[in-house]
Chains A and B, each alone.
Chain A
């Protein structure tokens, strides 16, 4: 059975199956960027193992003129470079899709599907003929297939050459050899293969001012712009690249041009306990400090997080979530640390969480977290994940208001102490639950206090008296309540029609959700959506739930953690919130969300449009 080949312009999915360590990553990124340079939005995803060399790795590029930045699901063109995963890769191709492979050694016909279009090219043979050095043979193979694809998909080679010239500025030899490899691929296709295929890239103007960056890079810049001076961290995927990027930008922007000294300190700690401990110490002493980690690191940090909560110390923790529990799926994505962070540590604790949806918000929220930590004198978590952290995404450019002042919060100065302002470290002077603090070394005989995790009175004096304890923990709750008005508010998007259905989601689910909503609309299913941007929740979350008969909570974990958090915080009937869960470690797709919601609604046997309520 021969199936009609898929025909699509600027709207398809290409997936590269490679072997880790083969140098394919930069070639695949080059492919994505060249399309972007043609003004066509792309959305790539790295799918990689917890391993350095030899295991399978994939890079999925969604070409999307419409600008959908979530994963779509399905593959139109598979670039199958890894024999290990051949069977699985082949299965993923949509009927009528394409398989591009290295046919240097012939594969039996049984190894192909008859509903996909096979494009074979003797990549190994070409490289062996052209290059004598084994490493070159391997590396240039990747560039050769990018060249071939550019011919098959009509990608402008000038864009690729320009990317080369930017990458190899001042390295003429590398530049020419890469351009050569590119044309080797193009020439072969020109001479031997039918081209272009049904999938094509056509110049557009849909990228605009947007930038293409990963969340960890953007988050690191948020810390630089937000004025972080102390970073203590311990390596863990997928957060390490954030600390490394912070180091890179500090070296670029934070070295005093006169003295050559660093206006920052970065310590790679011995473990996560030490890294958060350093952040606690630095925060106590008035520096803006942060750490970056992932699930297992948060587990180790919890005792200190409790201390920071109880002793009221500014701390910023950027948690780039990955698949758990335990080492779980270290290189896959999830949103499964919601509980672990919201209530981190023992006793009654509650922490502020921010949920960026893309790299742009990783920047915004990281900088905001430093302000919030100082303002609220408490730990602030920025809850990103591997999907945003380590994948480049098209997003709004990073903006900084030059007139912005850092919010250092309530720090009492020597002059204020001298003027005789009553200072009680844990006195709620303003009724917002946030007390004043003094920094060590401020005044010769006023304002010093003793910090500890144990309970105390409003003047920081050790006290095990029940009323003192109650005063303190109630004030902490008041402070948490104050946080409600300081954190980013949820984003409401109303459906075109009045509807009884609502959906709540957060973080990296965002782009897939937007696309799913449009897809559902075409099926006459309308949903109002609320994107949560922070915990504590605004009261509008409860209002949103109350205003809908059915509310789906879409998230990327097994236990519907955000749903439970909402139920717990608002004390509402669990039946009001329907779980939509995706947790296999791959980023959630629009197809998955749309199908799940449509199925649920259909099985509820209700009219998708509420006639009575349609105006």
Chain B
């Protein structure tokens, strides 16, 4: 595959954000995915969210595993460092990167094969560790890159493009994230930009492990009649729980919270989420209720989307480890090396 440089032509009238960046400044290389792949829509949503939030592109570290979905970090935020790791193991690499420098924004992109099969263990452990990151699973129910085998999120009874019937029951990543202690859990649909962009923004603003399961139909292998992850199927079965918006702290706006319609969610970093709930009785602060809610709807064959759970007081891995506020990669020898006197003492203790 050849590398295609995307022409960078800035139209003077393109809208700019506070950093004087246009949306183009948040783009990456030209995608090599199939035309119409849901993953590209998610990349577009990430670009939109980062631009709207005035994220400095170079202060983002984007990491992924292996798969079509995991290729996407090359297609957004061209000015940030990217890391395509090994299949299923993005979480550990991101955890290490985060340990080294807590000041960057960490975006982890993975597939359902990557995260729910080979990488299930790492997914589980990075959620429970509370690694401060946005973890996006681009969930298409198949292995795209290896051409259409079932992933662990494929529904029982669905058929592959080659006509094989899936006899295993599916894993629900949202249910698992809730159970594992993720402090932000949401689900969306790659085609629903209006819901997805604010959810990504909210996940970015959240401190702690933010998990986003995005249903992302694979046009090549999972968009046929027997699939439960096709465009048609998801459109028909989508029930949105709420709509939300992110307002950064700099422009703190008092929200008029009308019961049943709007929910104010204060973020750890001071930013505020305004949620417009479509299901008026839905409370995203209750982990158990969120589990029940998603399970109930799942039993009815429905896909629940929206912000399902948020813990606004969440802490992250660095707080648990009590690490210095400074990036560990910036500490110098004088802060790290106990010196000769200490060593002499140690030697004396070893006699």
Q: List A residues at the B interface (Cβ < 8 Å).
A: 36, 207, 210-213, 221, 224-225, 227, 229-230, 232, 249, 253-254, 256, 259-267, 269-271, 273-287, 289, 303-304, 307, 397-400, 402, 404-406, 438-445, 448-454, 457, 461-464
Interface residue? B347 (CB, 8 A): yes
Q: Which of B36-44, B260-268, B282-290, B317-325 contacts A (4 or more CB under 8 A)?
A: B317-325
Contact B324 A267 (CB under 8 A): no
- 5 A-B contacts, Cβ less than 8 Å apart? A227-B331, A260-B322, A277-B96, A304-B89, A463-B2
Q: Are B84 and A453 in contact (CB under 8 A)?
A: yes
* B226 proximal to A (CB < 8 A): no
Given contacts A265-B328, A278-B95, A282-B96, A400 and B343 within 8 Å (CB-CB): yes
CA distance A237 to B339 in the complex (A): 30
B176 at the interface (CB under 8 A from A): no
Q: Known: A263-B335, A406-B333, A441-B104. Is A285-B82 also a contact (CB below 8 A)? A: no
Contact of B97 among A224, A256, A284, A461 (CB under 8 A): A284
B125 contact set on A, CB distance < 8 A: 269-270, 274
CB distance B81 to A211 under 8 Å? Answer: no
Complex-state Cα separation, A404 to B328, whole angstroms: 20
14 additional A-B pairs beyond A261-B325, A281-B63, A287-B328, beta carbons within 8 Å, are: A221-B343, A263-B328, A264-B323, A265-B328, A267-B321, A269-B92, A270-B121, A277-B86, A280-B85, A282-B328, A287-B96, A452-B83, A462-B74, A463-B2
Assess the A441–B74 pair: CB atoms within 8 A.
Answer: no
Q: In the bound complex, what is the Cα–Cα distance between A265 and B2 (angstroms)?
A: 41
Q: B340, A282: Cβ atoms under 8 Å?
A: no
Q: Is the CB of A461 within 8 A of B3?
A: yes
Given contacts A281-B92, A287-B101, A441-B104, contact A212 B337 (CB under 8 A): no
B122's nearest neighbour on chain A, judged by CB, is: A274
Q: Are B96 and A451 in contact (CB under 8 A)?
A: no
For B79, give its contact among A444, A453, A457 (CB under 8 Å): A444
Contact (Cβ within 8 A) B79 A463: no
- Whether B336 contacts A227 by the Cβ 8 Å rule is yes
- The minimal Cβ–Cβ distance linking A360 to chain B, given in whole angstroms, is 11
Chain A residue contacts of B82, Cβ below 8 A:
448-451
Specify the chain B residue showing the minimal Cβ separation from A406.
Answer: B333
Q: Which residues of A contact B63 (CB under 8 A)?
A: 281
With a 10 A CB-CB cut-off, give which of B59, B99, B103, B337 has the most chain A CB atoms: B99
CB-contacts of B85-140 with A (<8 A): 85-86, 89, 91-101, 103-104, 121-122, 124-125, 129
B interface residues with partner A (beta carbon < 8 Å): 1-3, 56-59, 61, 63, 73-74, 78-86, 89, 91-101, 103-104, 121-122, 124-125, 129, 318, 321-325, 328-329, 331, 333, 335-340, 342-343, 346-347, 350-351
B324, A440: Cβ atoms closer than 8 Å: no
Q: A448 touching B78 by the CB < 8 A rule?
A: yes
Instruction: Tell me the minimal C-beta distance from A216 to chain B in angstroms.
Output: 13
Question: Which B residues touch A443, using CB under 8 A?
Answer: 58
A286 CA to B323 CA in the complex, in Å? 16
Minimal beta-carbon separation of A298 from chain B (angstroms): 16
Q: How far is the CA of A388 from the CA of B103 in the complex (A)?
A: 40
Q: Which residues from chain B contact A280 at a C-beta distance below 8 Å?
A: 85, 92-93, 96
Bound together, the chains give a CA A583 to CA B346 distance in angstroms of: 34
**Cα–Cα distance between A364 and B256 once the two chains are bound (Å):** 64
Whether the pair A262, B93 counts as a contact (CB closer than 8 A) is no
* Other-chain residue from B61, B336, B337 in contact with A440 (beta carbon distance below 8 A): B61
Chain A: minimal CB distance from B23 (Å): 16
A520 to chain B, nearest CB (A): 32
Question: Closest B-chain residue to A444, C-beta based?
Answer: B58
How far in angstroms is the closest Cβ of chain B from A117? 34
Question: Given the complex of chains A and B, what is the CA–CA distance between A264 and B323 in angstroms?
Answer: 6
How many angstroms from the CA of A283 to the CA of B92 in the assembled complex? 12
A207 and B350 alpha carbons, distance in the complex (Å): 12
- Give Cα A263–Cα B124 distance, bound, in whole angstroms: 27
